[in-house]
A and B are shown apart, each in its own frame.
Chain A
């Protein structure tokens, strides 16, 4: 990004009064006058994470509600929400590469698998002869290891992306899923083998196992709070990537790679970085996901998982962090809703052996939702929110 990092000329510096070497006091710190949301006196205000008062208040309220949830909801629902939070981390990763940088990746399941197994190996029991294990159960260590290994794989894969575009890239990443699935099935020393599997990583922090119930909280309450904190961390980093020069380069590559190159964006580097970051997020999400589930089946990392992630970002909203989170929670909570359906739709069965059953209906629903969102609101749930917001913003006019 050498080309984009050249110092931006400060327009005020060109004027003599500002450039005067004398110690003429400049205005006090460029602060925004109150109550004027459209007035910017510095670029920092425009680029700020929460650039309006409304956003600040909204995020605060949302965060407080999320912190209160463990005391209001049942444990099984909390576990579902914890899963949703982890899926959201994975979705943010996919959104960075597919939504922001425009590189369609159907191989996200592989990154999740690599992350899950790396973490399991790092935290696994060294006494167990059947699978690898190093016995380091400290969460930051196995999480970082999972992310880094997956990022490395992302870096190895990225040359494909720098040479291919669009449909070709999608097909190639689809190929990755099949390779990954094959390796996971066959490498017994790593995964325990089909039908056997292995334990997921142990979420332990400073000797405290988050996954087992403690004096004050149940295991699910603890896991939920842990994953909530993780999601906030990863979402903040994701948002910061998106609003910084890196994210702007991604968007430039997505909108027109040739134009981006002409304006000085290193396209190869941007694509490579997108895959590395996406891999890191995917790896971390995989590790965390199986620290909730506790058991990894090598058959889990298939095309369906990749498609579910695509569904999350398309339903949530491509190229938005908050959309990724909305989409992930939507997809995570969808099964819970469809499970209730047989009560209202008697022709649907809740047993997987009968047809039509809710599981088939669920898969069907992903497809339908993707199609409907792409046709009706390509910007996803986030787009619906933007529409609602703009409706009130334009009040009392239409534009």
Chain B
């Protein structure tokens, strides 16, 4: 891929700004400032900028010592932790290309990602991640080194010559630094804006994941968009702000909000212990910036509803009153584009005293001053609820291929239901024929790794990126209808966007998954997965005994309950959009089983195939 290494450009007089140089500069100006925290034995252990940069340098030197140079791919398979950040920046510093793997990727996908990217080194968090790589390592000839961070279960038991413990890896770097003290600075000076910085693999709802090549310039364009004055976050984040890092770092959104934002603004990153402790960690950290996917917002809302329902009578009564007020405030804010009226201000003050203040403290959102939502479509009701609590959630729109920079709701100019206005540096237009959203700007990616055919399909000659989403522009605000591939055309020839119906269903805390089916069919049906936590809570309160998840989904009462939700949603839809019948999924969908992508998105084709008997059952019944 020599073409990517900045052919023909004269050596730039100054060093190209990358996330690595940004961290170096922070370490120079505020060496003792807190860069990040991770929880160990109950304590949030702090890492200073100087310690962070020290580790980044050691990683860089270690990579050079192992003969890894510009353009080589290095994979990271780990939960969010300090080593992820150090490894990523070390790789960037020496001009390598970071390939992020989801810790939940099954071995087959690990094989695809390692083989497709041709990674020469893998940083594996622990035995679990290492085992998956070792299982497929005979089919990944390029993979020369495997570095593991947590030695438990590995040290003294594995004798693969390619293995290297993180400490020894850093020791290697220390030795190399003693011999070549200026090597990192030299490497950073050789970086050009067009160099590939990272491969971010698409989640692959259809077909195998493709690696999107993001350049240094792409990252800098996105950083400028997200953190610039008058940009997405206003006022921009600073060293006294806090963020909780809990979404997978290999996804472009979390990469931006954790690594890039941290390097660019100095925001303190706090790593969640794991995905289950996120609510508790949120309460401890009380972040000032909070980005979440719709699933998390829905879950927070469900928590409030369930806990509220089981509170003591006095608390419930006061809570209901407060939430009712907050709901009114939310509606008023939505109607006024996020600005308070005199009446909503008064109601907000009363609700604040009654319930909002303590509720936000319990949720860990007490100090949030910027909240964002993206990566999947979200129902308006969910965001309206949080608006009522005084947390305006800014819906963003972007995708891996444009480094997550396309449109966003700006502070004070929120319009719920839309994904906001295009960024200043990004052009957005709607294709006249297909209605597809097209974007163009400095953040548009270089292309797919080893897939010029796919790149050509996605980016046209004029540089317009075809997003694959259908949308409309309403006086400057973009409204996304659905994924182009997901649009259903019923047997009657009617175009239907399933995600709107699905999200309306998912507003209920009892429903986790909803998949609307009806392409080339006479009417619409749905496969619905119930939320085990809230549904079991409901079953308990109604004295319904059950053994397994499957048993729960087969209870008459549960079916009636879900039918009630479906009927309620139907009443707000046009006749052709109504769901005639539904089936409950007998199992929780899982990434391992290929039903979900690593980002927990439903693979429609896999689902339709696996549960074809359920689907056919919904249609054959009518034929009979």
Contact = CB atoms under 8 A, between A and B. Distances in A.
A43 B34 CA distance: 18
Interface stretch (A15-23, A95-103, A136-144): A15-23
Contacts of A11: 40-41, 43, 45
A25 B31 contact: yes
B310 A398 contact: yes
B170 A25 contact: no
Contacts of A168: none
A398 B315 contact: yes
Given A16-B167, A397-B362, A28 B32 contact: yes
B315 A35 contact: no
B318 interface: yes
Given A28-B32, A395-B358, A12 B45 contact: yes
B367 interface: yes
Contact of A27 (B46, B82, B318, B355): B46
Interface stretch (B132-140, B279-287, B379-387, B468-476): B279-287
Interface stretch (B50-58, B93-101, B411-419): B50-58
A40 to B, nearest CB: 6
B385 to A, nearest CB: 14
Contacts of B32: 25-28
Interface in A34-65: 35-36, 38-43, 46
Given A24-B54, A26-B51, A30-B46, A397 B40 contact: no
- Which of A22, A36, A46, A399 is packed against the most chain B CB atoms within 10 Å? A36
Contacts of A27: 32-34, 46-48, 51
- Which of A42, A43, A398 is packed against the most chain B CB atoms within 10 Å? A398
A250 B43 CA distance: 25
B169 to A, nearest CB: 9
Contact of A36 (B171, B285, B322, B354): B285
B44 A396 contact: no
A33 interface: yes
A398 B307 CA distance: 7
B308 interface: yes
Nearest to B303: A397
A39 B33 contact: no
A16 B41 contact: no
A11 B44 CA distance: 11
Interface residues of B, number: 48
Given A27-B46, A36-B284, A396 B319 contact: yes
Interface in B271-309: 283-286, 307-308
A41 B45 contact: yes
A16 B54 CA distance: 10
A43 B43 contact: yes
B286 A35 contact: yes
Contacts of B52: 17
A17 B242 contact: no
Given A30-B46, A398-B310, A16 B55 contact: yes
B286 A36 contact: yes
Nearest to A392: B358
A45 to B, nearest CB: 9
Interface of B: 31-34, 37, 40-48, 50-52, 54-55, 58, 82, 86, 166-167, 170-171, 242, 268, 283-286, 307-308, 310-312, 315, 318-319, 322, 354-355, 358-359, 362, 366-367
16 contacts: A11-B40, A11-B43, A11-B45, A12-B45, A17-B52, A25-B51, A38-B283, A38-B284, A41-B45, A396-B319, A396-B359, A397-B319, A397-B362, A398-B310, A398-B312, A399-B310
Given A15-B82, A17-B51, 6 more contacts: A16-B166, A16-B167, A17-B52, A27-B33, A41-B43, A41-B44
